[in-house]
Structure formats: structure tokens, C-alpha cells
Chains A and B, each alone.
Chain A
Amino acid sequence: MIRARGLEKRYGGKRVLRDVDLDVDRGDVAVVTGPNGSGKTTLLRVVAGLLAPTRGELEVRVERGRLGFLAHEPLVYRELTAVENLDLFGRLYRVPERRERIGMLLERFGLWDVRGERVGAYSRGMQQRLALCRTLLHEPELLLLDEPYNALDAEGAELLDRELRELAASRTLVVATHDPDRISSLATTRVAFG
């Protein structure tokens, strides 16, 4: 599903990615590890198509609308409610039976009771849960998750553990994390930076 050879990314004179090779097959769970600033986020952004590599070959065999991207930021509007945010993305992603899907995700991630509140009033952990709802809304084939456990409390982290176990059975996952032990049991491929 993803094949990269000799990927390099430079910002001006600074080389962030250097000669990265990556092979991820359908159904794989690839775990990308490394310290802060080692290029994990850049790799995910390059694979998502948000950044163009400076050099190297990259082939990602998935349509744009079948990719789910969880970034450092929740990528939701703070002035809108959870339902309004998910409804907007549901429309853009042409999610069938949008309202039912939104309701189901909000319920599953424990946000149903606060669905009508502005996201700006949410804690960072709740925003991360909403970001996960946004990422999973259109049932993507390929999930790119950048530090998915970021800001989650113990309950939220356990919820995500269960979710990832389910997703790993049917989807392709690339997870960037500095805490690889958390999902080591699911990992089929490992990429270490730094």
C-alpha cells in the first residue's frame, strides 16, 4: 500500500528526512518511532500528500478520500460544536448515513453528552477524542496516526487501545509514537528514526 525509496525532505538547508525506505502492505500496522524532531511527523505528512518529498520515490496506493490523518493538532474548529465539526467533514467526505455515523462515534468516544458544546471549551484530551472521531468518520482504508495517545487520560488511552486493536484487523495503520510499547503487540513493521 505504501512504498518509499530513498525519501528525503529538506526545509531550506535542514534535512529532516534522510534516505527513508518504507514498505507497508495492506493490513499492516507500521510503527514509526524516534525522539522529538527525528522526522516522524514529516514522514506521515509526506505519505499523506501534505508535503512533497525533496528527493526519492513514494507510492501510496489509496485514494485521497480513503485516508485518515490524525495530526498533532485536532484539526477541528474550536468555535463549532463536535457535531458541527463532524457534520462538515462528513459532508466533504460524502459519508453515507452521516448523522448515524457521527452519533455512533461520539457515543463510542464518550463525547455524546458534550456534543452540543463548543470544542474550544473541551479539555485537550476531549479534543483528541474528537480528532479521532474526525479521523475515523469516513472509515478510511489507511490511517496515519501521529502520536495518537497524546493528551489522552487513562480511560481515553484504553479506549484507543481497543479501537486500534479492532482497526488493525481490517485497516492499514501507520502510527508515529515515542511510546512504541503501547502498541508493540499490534506492530507488523517497525521504522526507527534517530
Chain B
Amino acid sequence: MSGYIRDAAALARKDLLLELRGKELLPAMALFVLAMLVAFRFALTSEQEAASQGLLWVAIVFTALLALGRAFVPEREQGILDALVLAPCDRSAIWLGKVLATMAFLLVVEAVALPAFGLFFGGVSWATVAAVVLANVGICAVGTLLAAMAVAGRAREVLLPLLFLPLAIPVVVGGVGATVADDPARYLAFLGLYDGVFAILAWATFEYVVVE
């Protein structure tokens, strides 16, 4: 097991290093989420501001989609997935490494987005922060699997949103619920359950996705 974790950590570290060198993804994600929040700020009238809680989740899901769309680009462009698949490590470690790296990118961007949201729409509760953290796990677990599926296809840019957005609806439902409900625990538990179920499914099926 420790070897498995070490493999996933080495792969995640590689993705963080690639981003540190390329600086392609994080600035784009941060700009995108900030632009969305600014647009939402001007789109809503003062009577509609209650809707802003839902729009935060739309912004998070679409920003995550940017990261997921790029997740396997280095492997696709340079054919490296073949070399990773041939390594004697458990192939699901490739998935876990990508999940960890994508989650790190999302957390960094959310560290910018949540204060900005608080500034524009007035305050972010602890329940919202907890929901965002839980949602990240589900979004990255499912999204990484789907990104690996989409990257093999010709219409990959279209395929990923088509596959991902329907599966992200429960995350939005749970996230909005945890943000606006008087008792967020129920929704947080729902997000935790989603994370558990979909993480196990994605972990177990990843091998079949990367091998023909």
C-alpha cells in the first residue's frame, strides 16, 4: 500500500512540477472563476442575490472543467500514457495522482474564488467551505476518470463536458443545499456519500479506460 501511495504521490508531484514550469492552468482557472463571479455580480439584481449561492457552484464546476480538460494533455500530446501504463505500478495510481494534482489546483483557485465571492455577495459560511472541500473530491474523482476516457476520443473537447456535467449535478445539489440549508449536515453527508461511491467506482474502472 505504501508503494501505491508513493507511486500516486510521485505522479501528482510530477503534475504540480509541470504546472509550476508551464504556468498554463492556474492563472487561466483563477481568471476564469473571477470573471464568472464578476459577471454574476452584474447579472443579478438586488432582489435576485439569493441566487448567488447557486452561481458559486456553477462557477466551481465550470472552473474544475478547465482543469479536467487539461489533465491528460501532456500524456496525450507526448504519448506518455503508454509508458505509464507499462510501468509495473497499479494503474489506478495514475488516476489517484491526477486526482490529487487536480484537487490541489482547485484548492488554490478556490482560495482566490471564495474570498472574492464573499466580497461580491457578502460572506462565506463554514458550511460552504466544508461543502467545497467535499465537492472537490467528487469532482476530481469522477472528472479524472472521464477526462481519461475523453482524451482517447477525437471529439475530446466536446465529450468531457457532455460526460461530466450530468454527473456533477448531484455535487451542485449537495453544495447549494449545504450553503443555504439551516441544517447543512445532511447535505454534507450527501456530498461525502457521493465522494465515496464515485471515488470507488472511478478507482476500480480506471484500468479498463487506459488499456484498450
Chain A interface residues (CB < 8 Å from chain B): 45, 48-52, 63-65, 67, 69, 71-80, 84, 88-89, 91-94, 118, 134
Contact = CB atoms under 8 A, between A and B. Distances in A.
Contacts of A77: 14, 18, 74, 78, 80
A interface, over-half SS: loop
Interface of B: 3, 6-7, 10-11, 14, 17-18, 21-22, 74, 78-80, 82-89, 211-212
A71 B10 CA distance: 23
B14 A80 contact: yes
Nearest to A65: B88
Contact of A88 (B14, B85, B86): B14
Contact of A76 (B11, B78, B211): B78
A50 B3 contact: no
A91 B7 contact: yes
Contacts, number: 76
B192 to A, nearest CB: 31
A50 B18 contact: no
B78 A78 contact: yes
Nearest to B94: A92
29 contacts: A48-B82, A49-B211, A50-B211, A51-B212, A52-B212, A63-B88, A64-B86, A64-B87, A65-B88, A72-B79, A73-B79, A74-B78, A75-B82, A75-B83, A76-B78, A76-B83, A77-B80, A78-B74, A80-B14, A80-B18, A80-B21, A88-B10, A88-B11, A89-B87, A92-B7, A92-B11, A93-B87, A118-B21, A134-B83
A77 B149 CA distance: 21
Given A92-B7, A92-B88, A69 B82 contact: yes
Nearest to B22: A79
A93 B14 CA distance: 15
B14 A50 contact: no
Given A45-B82, A80-B14, A92-B89, 13 more contacts: A48-B82, A64-B86, A65-B88, A71-B82, A71-B83, A75-B79, A75-B80, A77-B80, A79-B22, A84-B17, A88-B14, A92-B88, A93-B87
Contacts of B82: 45, 48, 50, 69, 71, 75
Given A75-B82, A77-B14, A94 B3 contact: yes
Nearest to A45: B82
B87 A65 contact: yes
A156 to B, nearest CB: 20
A71 B88 contact: no
Given A79-B21, A80-B17, A92 B79 contact: no
Contacts of B212: 50-52
A129 B85 CA distance: 21
A67 B85 CA distance: 12
8 tightest Cβ-Cβ pairs between the two chains A and B? A65-B88, A92-B87, A75-B83, A73-B79, A79-B21, A91-B10, A92-B89, A79-B18
